[in-house]
Amino acid sequence: MDFYISWSHSDAVFSDYFDSCPMLISAIPDNKYALKKFNRSPQKIIIDSGAFYYSRQNVARKLKDIMDIQCYMIDGAPNDVPIKIVHLDEPLTEKKALTEKYNSIEKTLLNAYEHFNLFQMEGFPQNISMMGVIQGFDFASIQFSIHELKKMGYTSFGIGSLLKKSAKDQISIINFISEIVGSENLHVFGVTGIPQIKEMAKLKISSFDSSRPTMVAAYHQIIYSNPFRIFLISESNVTKTQKRISKPLNCNCPVCNNKPEDIMKIDHRNYTKLRSIHNYYHLIETIKDIKREVL
């Protein structure tokens, strides 16, 4: 089970610090040149469509434009790195009415069909493949989405729109889908709760992603592993009921091996990046511990 760190242009370049560092990068204009600038390529890459970004920006993007950005990003990666391209989907997280939800599923499936055709026309090498996004609001619509994606030729799948669901519902949906497509063919977008990671490890899910190390760093929080804990920096003005920390604990991450006090600083964006590297290290260590537990 691989963990992909969700990355954008203003984030720390995690692959510069870690040899094994799968990354998920969205095909948005600011990320277009990213892979050409990296000192070291990620071990594996997922290039998604940026659907969540475009929906929040309320910007309509042509599918061909997104594919062009994905192609440009691929050109910046070594030709032996496994890359999965994700088609444009229509997130369900903000949809209330039943008709809106059905329309979103239909749009997602249409995009999946057109994107798959464009992919085949490009004639990509074998290290590059397509991932179909499963959208659905109940088991029946999820099953329908999977059925249609399989008919189009998809063999690798990702499940989205889980963000606002409870941990129990997320686990239930992941279990349901893995039984249909096979856990080895399933990627889970944006889920990093510890109970969910444990269940995904038991199921032997192929992969999942999250921006959690970066997000908690931005809110002046520090992750530690063995056991998994999240602390709030004492000097922070973030109003959150959480145990605070005034100095770093013992740690072997790349940052703390050099200047551990840097992860406590909150006065510059560069320190946020360093803190996110520290957080990534400890999330990875936690995932390793979980995988060892379920073996």
List pLDDT tens digits, range 242-269: 999 999 999 999 999 999 999 999 999 9
Q: Are strands 229-233 and 157-159 parallel, antiparallel or unpaired?
A: unpaired
**What region, left, alpha or beta, does residue 9 occupy, with left being phi > 0 and alpha being psi -120 to 50 degrees?**
alpha
Number of CB atoms found within 10 A of residue 56's CB: 10
> Could you say which of 168, 187, 210 is where a domain stops?
210
Question: Do 139 and 257 belong together in one domain?
Answer: no
- 204 and 238 both lie in a single domain: no
Our measurement of the distance from residue 177's CA atom to the centroid of its chain's CA atoms, rounded to an integer in Å, reads: 18
User: Do 100 and 194 belong to one domain?
Assistant: yes
Neighbours of 71 (CB within 10 A): 17
**Full DSSP string of 253-270:** STTTTT-GGGGG--SSHH
Same domain assignment for residues 28 and 146: yes
Structural contact between residues 63 and 84, judged by C-beta atoms closer than 8 angstroms:
no
Q: Are both 11 and 141 inside the same structural domain? A: yes
Q: Among 179, 210, 241, give the residue marking a domain's end.
A: 210
Co-location of 76 and 152 in the same domain: yes
Structural domain including 8 reads 2-210
Q: Specify the CATH number for the domain of residue 96.
A: 3.20.20.105
Phi, psi of 45 (to 5 degrees): -135, 135
Q: Are residues 96 and 237 in the same domain?
A: no
Same domain, 192 and 263: no
261 and 163 belong to one structural domain: no
Kindly state whether residues 126 and 271 are assigned to the same domain. Answer: no
pLDDT in tens, 159-206: 988 988 999 999 999 999 999 999 999 999 999 899 999 999 999 999
Number of domains in the chain: 2
Question: Do both 127 and 27 map to the same domain?
Answer: yes
The verdict on 232 and 206 lying in the same domain is no
Q: What is the mean pLDDT of the chain?
A: 95
Residue that finishes a domain, picked among 210, 238, 271: 210
With tokens 């890359």, the residue in question is 83
Q: What is the pLDDT along the chain (295 residues), one digit of tens a residue?
A: 999 999 999 999 999 999 989 999 999 999 999 898 899 999 999 999 998 888 777 777 789 999 999 999 999 899 999 999 999 998 887 778 999 999 999 999 999 999 999 999 988 999 999 999 999 999 999 999 999 999 999 999 999 889 889 999 999 999 999 999 999 999 999 998 999 999 999 999 999 999 999 999 999 999 999 999 999 999 999 988 899 999 999 999 999 999 999 999 999 999 999 999 999 999 999 999 999 998 7
